[in-house]
């Protein structure tokens, strides 16, 4: 029996159609198949429109161009300057966001994104200055400035927490610079020693070869790599070996000039 259009219920957020209702054996008719929250969505959009609409209300205000007395040179210098600033800010913010998202293991990703947001918001305030020359949308301009204020305050508040990381990064850069300088100095020293005409043989406290230059190795008839780590004892004759052993076994009470 047709009982007229009856709303029979909701199933996973949607109204049932008459065909689905018949298959389920509910014996009634539903007039449409729409999301159950469509009405709430419409009301929400209406409220948002009523909230945003005053931002574009220009009644009662005069454009900035009138304050400039529509002087062509004055209007041009302000519009061109604001345009360049907006484009530059937008480009800088895009690069900061790109670096923040693409660089792996970036300890400053959050602050880079914050700076990117802050800078692009600043850029849009200059963009609105261009619009206001002809259209006095001051409520919208004020809203963008409010967003800029929140972004700038958030960035300024977060920045002190990143200062220790920046300091550590600077220390790491100084350490790397020092290590590179030492490495270059060592390389230069080795070049000087290896090209010296005199034989140079450096031993550690145990009498083992710590360093030997090519000239010294050639004089003894060995290769440089072959001599590394070997004791001087291995290069002495029998008599010298005995003297070396006696000398090494003798205690040293003091060192005198």
Give the tens place of pLDDT for each residue, 35-87: 445 666 666 666 665 666 666 777 778 998 988 899 999 999 999 999 999 99
Of 107, 136, 163, the position where a domain reaches its end is 163
Q: What is the mean pLDDT of residues 213-225?
A: 81
Distance CA 155, CA 184 (A): 41
Distance CA 85, CA 126 (A): 7
Which helix (H) or strand (E) covers residue 243, if one does? helix 238-249
Distance CA 187, CA 193 (A): 10
Q: Is the pLDDT of residue 126 over 90?
A: yes
Range of the domain at 19: 10-56
Q: What does the pLDDT look like over 83-113, one tens digit per residue? A: 999 999 999 988 888 887 887 777 778 888 8
Q: State whether residue 193 is helix, strand or coil.
A: helix
Range of weakest confidence among 22-26, 199-203, 206-210, 214-218? 22-26
Exposure string of 186-218, with b = 16+ CB inside 10 Å and e = fewer, is eeeeeeebeeeeeeebeeeeeeebeebbebbbe
Q: Is the pLDDT of residue 219 over 50?
A: yes
Of 107, 134, 163, the position where a domain reaches its end is 163
* Structure tokens belonging to residue 2: 């047709």
Residues 121 and 83 in one domain: yes
pTM tops 0.75, yes or no: no
Q: Is residue 171 part of a domain?
A: no
How many domains, in total, are found in the chain?
Answer: 3
pLDDT at 87: 95
Q: Which residues contact 133 (CB under 8 A, 6 or more apart)?
A: 63, 64, 65, 68, 75, 78, 79
- Name the residue with higher pLDDT: 184 or 256: 184
Q: What does the pLDDT look like over 1-17, one tens digit per residue? A: 444 444 444 444 444 44
Distances from the Cα of 74 to the Cαs of 28, 87, 134, in angstroms? 73, 20, 14
Q: Is the pLDDT of residue 123 over 80?
A: yes
Of 136, 163, 190, the position where a domain reaches its end is 163
Q: Hey, which residues does 208 pair with through a beta bridge? A: 231
Q: What is the mean pLDDT of residues 126-139?
A: 92
Q: Is residue 208 part of a domain?
A: yes
pLDDT at 255: 45
Distance CA 70, CA 106 (A): 49
């Amino acid at each position: 029996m047709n009982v007229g259009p009856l709303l029979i219920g909701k199933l996973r957020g949607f109204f049932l159609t008459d065909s689905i209702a018949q298959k389920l054996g509910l014996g009634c008719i539903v007039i449409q198949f729409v999301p159950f929250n469509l009405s709430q969505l419409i009301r929400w959009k209406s409220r948002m429109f009523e909230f945003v609409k005053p931002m574009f209300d220009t009644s009662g205000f005069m454009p900035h161009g009138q304050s400039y007395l529509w002087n062509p040179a004055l209007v041009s210098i302000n519009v061109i300057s604001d345009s360049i600033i907006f484009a530059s800010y937008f480009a800088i913010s895009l690069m900061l966001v790109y670096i923040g998202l693409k660089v792996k293991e970036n300890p400053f990703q959050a602050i880079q994104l914050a700076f990117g947001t802050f800078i692009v918001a600043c850029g849009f305030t200059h963009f609105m200055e261009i619009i206001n020359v002809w259209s006095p949308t001051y409520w919208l301009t004020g809203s963008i400035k409010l967003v800029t204020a929140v972004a700038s305050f958030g960035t300024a508040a977060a920045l002190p927490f990143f200062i220790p990381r920046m300091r550590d990064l600077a220390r790491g850069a100084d350490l790397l610079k020092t290590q590179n300088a030492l490495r270059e100095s060592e390389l230069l020293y080795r070049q000087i020693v290896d090209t010296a005409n005199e034989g140079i043989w450096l031993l550690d406290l145990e009498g083992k070869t710590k360093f030997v230059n090519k000239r010294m190795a050639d004089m003894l008839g060995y290769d440089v790599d072959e001599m590394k780590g070997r004791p001087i004892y291995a290069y002495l004759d029998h008599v010298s070996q005995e003297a070396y052993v006696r000398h090494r076994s003798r205690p040293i009470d003091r060192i005198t000039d």
